[in-house]
Structure 1
Amino acid sequence: MEVLTPQRGTSWPILISDIELIGEEHARPFPLDKESSIRPAISSRVKAMHPDRVYVATKEERNGVSAIWVYRKS
């Protein structure tokens, strides 16, 4: 699985809010060096766009990929 990075016309909050399915098995990897951008994006902009959703970010290795894994909890 490839680590996600914003492309032209996207941003961290958009990439995070694109995670629609609930559950850890649907987690997507984000770059480790962008942890300081991803966590605030979840707690502010994504929360403002989708107040009914809860996202979780964990730093770990899965499937051979070390990353910040983000998934939707509810």
Structure 2
Amino acid sequence: MQKIGECSGQVWGYLSTEGPATITKLTKEIGEKKDLVLQAVGWLARENKLYFFEKGRNKLIGLIDHVPPHE
């Protein structure tokens, strides 16, 4: 559980500085296994920290408190 919490912090930090991203991008940039990143995203989603949207064929994740006005 601690590892998921740490990864959640990494996901939050990445999205906070870089903006919305796909799961693939998060996994690559954070350097953790995809399963762990998915668990971290689930953790943050359950805390209502994330929003999900589609842009073209991509599914992206962003921080709720960083929603751009055009999303």
Alignment TM class, shorter chain as reference: 0.3 to 0.5
Using the size of structure 2 for normalisation, the TM-score is 0.37
More strand by share: 1
Instruction: Give the structure with the larger helix fraction.
Output: 2
